[in-house]
Structure 1
């Protein structure tokens, strides 16, 4: 097999076509080579919310929803989602997740979701934190859809990332 003329050397991080890191000079998708990057402690926090009806809020604050422990199921689903991120996001590196925490809070019109994911690896965990929030949100929707078929997952975003070359970043 010949080497792709647009490929970068191991860990060079040289952007390909159009200055994008996940495409080579010919425009083909590639997984970035992170082998030369330092292994550091990295952490990402993401958040999102599921907008729900007053009936769902009352059920979650009271006797629960017909399917069972919606928040407990969503918490576990989010953690599982973080662990399966490279299976879902094609160019995401499989990394060793050293910790994952998903918190859910029932607000007056929504279920608020926050995920924190940690690793000691060569690349960050932003995608894992985002996936945790998204999957937890989907699990909430699945658990409450009998009461509120109009529930909406929204505002999924990175709030904070730490570690690696870029250091600390926090949403203003």
Structure 2
């Protein structure tokens, strides 16, 4: 049975009232493929545009989104995050976005990490589209999680 359906098959938030509070972490990654035209604007560790520094803005947007995940995903629990760290590195024409989130709680932070990485990727798209629309966001995925019933790590 899917965890977000009640006995009648209707959507329902999972009751975490009986779960123990544990340290929960999750790391997600998104990849934004840019092109040479956009990457020629890479100056040091960031792309500078008239709107401002792309990666720095994406980090702020991703952090804000991770903190508001329950406003975006209907059945997510409201969580107070202890930490949200977003890093952006480049590899060729790709921007690799990693979002690491943690909390002490009764439910995991996978969705917060995924939302943070996703919104950071969308922000890069938004800020670079004036250069070119030849931008692809792909590989939004959970890399690892700890805490709860079982840990997960993608090889």
Q: Which runs of 5+ in 2 are unaligned?
A: none
The answer to whether structure 1 residue 152 and structure 2 residue 143 are counterparts is no
Shift of 1:92: 0.5
Partner of 2:101: 117
CA-CA distance at 1:87 after TM superposition: 0.3
Q: Report the Cα distance in structure 1 between the residues aligned to 2:15 and 2:100, rounded to whole angstroms.
A: 25
Answer 1 or 2: which has greater strand percent: 2
Residue 152 of structure 2 corresponds to which residue in structure 1?
Answer: 169
2:120 to 125, 129, 136: 136
Unaligned runs of 5+ residues in structure 1 are 1-18
Give the Cα separation in 1 of the matches to 2:132 and 2:112. 28
Greater Cα offset, 138-147 or 61-70: 61-70
| CA distance in structure 2 between the partners assigned to 1:139 and 1:60 by the alignment | 16
1:136 Cα deviation after fit: 0.1
> Using the alignment, how far apart are the partners of 2:34 and 2:23 within structure 1?
36
- Cα deviation per residue 1:112-146 (whole Å; 9 max; x = unaligned)? 10000000000000000000000000000011000
Larger Rg: 1
Compute the TM-score of the two structures, normalised by the length of structure 1: 0.85
Question: In 2, Cα distance between the equivalents of 1:104 and 1:56?
Answer: 16
- Give 1:69's aligned residue: 53
Matched with 1:42 is 24
1:105 aligns with 2:89: yes
Shift of 1:150: 2.3
Aligned residues: CA RMSD = 1.2
Runs of 4+ in 1 over 6 A off after TM superposition: none
Q: How many residues align?
A: 153
